[in-house]
Amino acid sequence: MIRSRRALDDLDEEIRDHIERETQDNIARGLSPEAAWQAAHRKFGNVTLVKEDARAVWVPVWIDQLRQDVQYAVRGLRRNPGFTVVAVLTLALSIGANTAIFSVVDGTLLKPLPYPEASRIVRVLEKRPQGSRASVSPLNYLDWRGANTVFEDLVAVTGEYFVTLSGDAVPVKLLEIRATSRYFAVLGAQAALGRTFGVDDDQPGREHVVVLSHALWTSQFGANPTLIGQAIRLDGTPYTVIGVMPAGTTFDRSHAQIWAPLAVQSEDLTRDFRRLITLAKLKPNVTLEQAQTQMDAIGARLARDYPDSNKGWGVVVERYGEILVGDQLRQSLHVLFGATWLVLLIGCANLANVTLARGLAREREVTLRVALGAGQRRLIQQFLTESVVLSAGGGLLGVVVGYLMLAVLKAVMPPYSIPPETTITMDGRVLLFTAVVSSFSGLLFGLAPAVGATRPTLATSIREGGGHGASAGRAHRGIRRALIVLEVALTFVLLTGAGLLIHSFFRMQQFDIGVDSTNVLTAQLPISEKRFSSPTALNNHLRHIVSAVESLPGVRQLRSPPRFPCKGSADTRCRFGLRISRC
């Protein structure tokens, strides 16, 4: 483009020089300077036509036309600042909402897991006779690990447990996960400081080592690099810190703050107590179907060999990335994303109506351009260029609006409402989506007005005495009515969906779960599995707690259920429910 502009400048210089020399020759022949200049121009011909012919050779016609259309569109929008500001703000809000929600959808549903070779990571669970998923018993896990040939690694992971970090400062309650030694290897995760689990760290007697999240290392230990190799006390037992995970990763966003090896003790070797989650990494070139087929065969063999615990039970293998996002979250994101598209369509319909009305005021301009030789296709191109330029401005402002909306969404989003493996950012993928939406919006709200404003009946209404003016007006009114109907219909759908969502929310707030929670307090007490040497010692400790709490003023009843209503499965926390009297 720069070379072409220089060539056109050189051409201008050559034309001026040629005309100047021809003028001097004419003066030498006895003509007056004015007559000589006119004669030179007549001999040379149409200067503008010569320039256009040269430009068509040096610059592709469509590029030159596009440049002219963009310049003309910018000048036209500057002459109508009120319309421009309203249109850009309308588009910015609509595109910004789509950008913010797409950032969430992209990070949650579309992006792969933040692990190397994430497509090979799978979850392996037991399947009840009724078909539902269940945790895995330790002995079944060991049999799976020894018999399969489809997994590169198969690791066992416990649920999250509360542990108490004690020392010189005030004790702190932390969430811990225990996993077998190859856990971090399956996820392809490396420690930022120190190391992760070694091969023998999950052997009984060698499991007193821990890996910390970067957030915990920073908040509780002041990011002290000399902590590696030192001991900390968890539930009164010393554990050696061997590593710290990288900052800002899944391990910082996880519920768990600390990871310790899972050493399977002899008393844990059972098939009836199912408490483990198993993750695996498929071997290269092994498909999910092949893994499922082999695990079905292993599960069937175990059901035959151990009918008391395994009869009717099976195995299910699922890609880890597909089970992280629940159906409810997935559906909610789809509905929310669809709602933002409805907002965009409403905005486009509104702008199309305004643009069409604005096109009526440009009848004389269009007619004049047709009279000068412009075709309908060229005029439609000009009108669409104006719409796309307008939508580009809305898209640029929409990026800012989307960034602010995304920050608000992150602030109001309930903790842990999305999996820790998701990263919600406004990256290049989101910006590309914004650019596509902006272009689509410009074409969407600009097409109908462009076609309507350049209809042949409109263009010839002045030249032919206005005979077609009435039909052109009727055509415009028909288009505008259709756009209004579309806008009202989309608004009705959006408002109906919002009303149903609000109604469902209030219904959920008023739903009777069958439990009277009036004057009821709950408490959870984390107890280490190894704190008491026998069940009798544990029961004595719990009886002492119950007796002490029951003697408090205002306590009417105390119960210790295995789990609270509407909560998940039980773990090592003892739960208490207290009914108290009002003061």
Token code pair at residue 79:
């002459």
Q: How many CB atoms lie within 10 A of CB 225?
A: 10
Q: Which pLDDT score is estimated for 382?
A: 77
pLDDT grade for 480, boundaries at 50, 70 and 90 = low
Please indicate, yes or no, if residue 379 is contained in any of the structural domains. Answer: yes
For residue range 517-547, list pLDDT tens digits in order.
Answer: 777 777 766 666 566 777 788 778 888 888 8
Percent residues over pLDDT 90 in the chain: 27
Q: Which domain holds residue 535?
A: 520-580
Residue 60 to residue 63: CA distance in whole angstroms: 5
| Stated length of the chain | 583
Do 279 and 389 fall into the same domain? no
Summarised one tens digit per residue, pLDDT across range 374-429 is: 666 777 777 788 888 888 888 999 999 999 999 988 888 777 778 888 888 888 89
In a domain, 564, yes or no: yes
Of 438, 442, 459, 448, the C-alpha closest to 356 is 448
Q: Tell me whether residue 65 is in a domain.
A: no
Q: Lowest mean pLDDT: which of 175-179, 297-301, 558-562?
A: 558-562
Task: Please give the structure tokens belonging to residue 51.
Answer: 């320039």
- Rounded Cα distance between 294 and 297, Å, is 5
Percent of the chain's residues with pLDDT above 70? 75
Asked if the model's pLDDT at residue 177 lies above 80, the reply is yes
Residue 82: band (very low, low, confident or very high) from pLDDT cuts 50, 70, 90? confident
Number of domains the chain contains = 4
160 phi/psi in degrees, rounded to 5: -85, 135
* 3-state secondary structure (DSSP) of residue 467: coil
Indicate the residue among 463, 490, 509 that finishes a domain.
509
Distance in angstroms (rounded) separating the CA atoms of residues 211 and 189: 12
Q: Are residues 149 and 294 part of one domain?
A: yes
Residue 451 shares a structural domain with residue 397: yes
Q: Are residues 202 and 263 in the same domain?
A: yes
User: Same domain, yes or no, for 491 and 543?
Assistant: no
Helix (H, G, I), strand (E, B) or coil at 229: coil
Give the Cα separation of 555 and 579 in Å (integer).
6
- Asked if residues 189 and 243 have their Cβ atoms less than 8 Å apart, the reply is no
When pLDDT is cut at 50, 70 and 90, the band that residue 183 belongs to is: very high
Does a structural domain hold residue 64? Answer: no
Nearest to 479 by CA among 569, 356, 389, 371: 356
Q: Does some domain include residue 74?
A: no
d(CA 19, CA 12): 11
Sign of the torsion formed by the C-alpha atoms of 46, 48, 52 and 58: positive
Same domain, 459 and 483: yes
Tell me the three state secondary structure of residue 121.
Answer: strand
The phi-psi region of residue 525 (left if phi > 0; otherwise alpha if psi is between -120 and 50; otherwise beta) is: beta
Beta-carbon count within 10 A of 320 CB: 21
Query: Is the same domain home to 374 and 318?
Result: no
Looking at the fold, whether 172 and 246 belong to one and the same domain comes out as yes
* 440 — pLDDT class (breaks 50, 70, 90): confident
pTM listed for this prediction? 0.69
3-state secondary structure of 222: coil
- Which residues, in sequence order, are CB contacts of 580 under 8 Å at separation 6+? 519, 520, 521, 554, 555, 556
Position 76 in a domain = no
Cβ neighbours for 219, distance < 8 A, ≥ 6 positions apart: none
340 plus 308 within the same structural domain: no
Q: Show contacts of 533-538: CB within 8 Å, 24+ apart.
A: none
pLDDT at 571: 46
Boundary residue ending a domain (509, 538, 553): 509
Report the run of H or E that residue 473 belongs to, with start and end: helix 469-509
Residues 125 and 220 in one domain: yes
In the predicted structure, residue 447 carries a pLDDT above the cut 50: yes
The mean pLDDT of 303-330, rounded to a whole number, is: 88
The one-letter code for the residue type at 66 is L
pLDDT category of residue 190 using cuts at 50, 70 and 90:
very high
Please tell me the least confidently modeled range out of 145-154, 377-386, 484-493.
484-493
pLDDT > 70? residue 37: yes
Check: CB of residue 210 under 8 Å from CB of residue 244: no
Residues 44 and 100 in one domain: no
Structural domain includes residue 397? yes
Per DSSP, the residues of 517-533 read -TTEEEEEEE--TTS-S
| Residue 388 CB partners (closer than 8 Å, separation 6+) | 439, 442, 443, 446
471 and 549 both lie in a single domain: no
Residue 388 lies in a domain: yes
Tell me which of 36 and 293 has the higher pLDDT: 293
